[in-house]
Amino acid sequence: MATEVFSPQTYATGVPYDLFRRLRLTSPVCWIEEPALAGWPAGPGYWAVLRHADVKHVLRTPDVFSSYAGATQIRDPDTEADLAFVRAMMLNQDPPEHSRIRKVVAAAFTPRAVRELEAVIDARAAELVGRVAEAGEADFVDVAADLPVWTLAHVMGVPDEDRRLLFDWSSRVIGYQDAEYAELTTADPGTLTPMARAALAHRPAMRARPDGRPVNPRSREALADMFAYAHALADDPRPGTVLAHLREGGLTREEFENMFFLFAVAGNETLRNGIPGGLHTLLCHPDQFARLRADRGLLPTAVEEMLRYWPPVMDFRRTAVRDTELAGQRIRAGEKVVVYHVSANRDETVFDDPDRFDVGRTPNDHVSFGFGPHFCLGSHLARVQMRAVLRHVLDRLPGLAPAGEPVRLVSNFQNGLKHLPVRV
């Protein structure tokens, strides 16, 4: 069972909710082995944290469970240099350094700034859903992926010709365990700006080291083209954009690079997974879809339930920095601790009938955006985009139905779909 929790192939057919339920009841903090898989070396193993209360405890106590010590991915960075590099990312820091960088970024995402974006996001969502209505069919993953990429390009000041690069970079990072996404390239070099074409010259020619081991997708080496582009864009940022705020905020070079990485990847993938996953869930529960169509006042609670039922990110790692105990289990300093949002969101002690999808569920204390000091800074912007897409689906696609089987992403981190064929 432990290997099943870790293996990316497990999630290619669906999240093993029954397994998580059994483990929550019998071993809520359990040891998971990390065998060698798909060219990646074996890891030392980790503690999986599965109950809602324990997940929250880990996430709100960075003095015990650190983001900085080993970063936040299950897989350890390959080298000390790789670890030092990713530690500059806000996602992989602990207070007070995390608080300093978060304050710089928050200045660009005030509630007022997000409200000003709502109209342009709504217009873009209307355009995308309108194309589906006109065509009569679509792969909704492609439709959904365009909105966060377009929004990020808009707030970061990325020229429209180059925005597909954001899609490709996030695919390479998030989809590295999936053969279809690991080398995905959709941007047409012939339509890119000169700045983007120059950056692409820095892309690594090979995705494997001389010894045959894969290149860490989160290393400077693997993303040299993205960082070259980030610095070229920052040389002349559009006033009022996120990049302009970051440049003025006193970040170091590595902090700036990692912040661009965080926006390009995390700001993209949450919605690229959450919107198709939420729509697929609605299509699988036609009674709830009909209920939402009949009562648009349920839209806010429906979005929260979509996030609970289909959390875009399945897990995050911390590292114990001192000996401690959790749910009766002794954890030693230096051991990895991985919280599973997908399990916490189905905890029967918190959610009534947790496997039931209910667009009117309230309260809904899901942890899909995290908890504690690392609560997702872009959660409000993500909700705005999800509501916009869903509102236009309800308005423009009254006869929406599946047009084939969905195809899941192979990943033990991202809860994603690669394809979701639909028809009107």
Could you tell me if 64 and 326 are in contact, meaning their C-beta atoms sit under 8 angstroms apart?
no
Name the band, by pLDDT with cuts 50, 70 and 90, for residue 212: low
- pLDDT value at 166 more than 60: yes
pTM for this entry: 0.93
H helices of 60-110, in order, are 80-86, 97-106
Could you tell me if 267 and 377 are in contact, meaning their C-beta atoms sit under 8 angstroms apart?
no
**What is the number of H-type helices and E-type strands within the chain?**
17, 12
| All residues at 6 or more sequence positions from 30 whose CB lies less than 8 Å from its CB, including other chains | 2, 23, 47, 48, 50, 329
Could you tell me if 78 and 43 are in contact, meaning their C-beta atoms sit under 8 angstroms apart?
no
Alpha-carbon gap, residue 303 to 333, rounded angstroms: 38
Of 147, 143, 139, the C-alpha closest to 402 is 139
pLDDT at position 329, please? 97
- pLDDT value at 71 more than 60: yes
Summarised one tens digit per residue, pLDDT across range 354-410 is 999 999 999 999 999 999 999 998 898 899 999 999 999 999 999 999 999 999 999
User: What is the domain extent for residue 251?
Assistant: 2-423
Alpha-carbon gap, residue 234 to 246, rounded angstroms: 9
Angle at 231 between CA 225 and CA 237, to 5 degrees: 130
- pLDDT value at 264 more than 70: yes
Report helix, strand or coil for 242.
Answer: helix
Alpha-carbon gap, residue 21 to 348, rounded angstroms: 9
Return the minimum-mean-pLDDT range out of 25-29, 184-188, 334-338.
184-188
- pLDDT value at 107 more than 80: no
257 or 202, greater pLDDT:
202
Which pairs with CB-CB distance under 8 Å and at least 24 residues apart come from 190-198? 191/161, 192/161, 192/162, 192/165, 193/159, 193/161, 193/162, 195/159, 195/162, 195/229, 195/232, 195/233, 196/159, 196/161, 196/162, 196/165, 196/229, 198/228, 198/232
The predicted model gives 227-249 an average pLDDT of 81
Query: What's the domain count of the chain?
Result: 1
pLDDT at position 209, please? 62
List beta partners, residue 331. Answer: 324
Summarised one tens digit per residue, pLDDT across range 339-358 is 999 999 999 999 999 999 99
Summarised one tens digit per residue, pLDDT across range 118-163 is 999 999 999 999 999 999 999 999 998 899 999 988 888 899 999 9
Alpha-carbon gap, residue 61 to 56, rounded angstroms: 9
DSSP string, 185-207: ----GGGS-HHHHHHHTTS-S-S
Report helix, strand or coil for 356.
Answer: coil
- pLDDT value at 85 more than 90: no
Report helix, strand or coil for 230.
Answer: helix
- Do strands 137-139 and 329-331 pair parallel, antiparallel, or not at all (unpaired)? unpaired
Of 416, 5, 402, the C-alpha closest to 180 is 416
Cβ neighbours, 10 Å, residue 3: 12
Could you tell me if 368 and 393 are in contact, meaning their C-beta atoms sit under 8 angstroms apart?
no
What's the CATH number where 73 sits?
A: 1.10.630.10
Per the omega criterion (within 30 degrees of 0), is the bond before 41 cis?
no
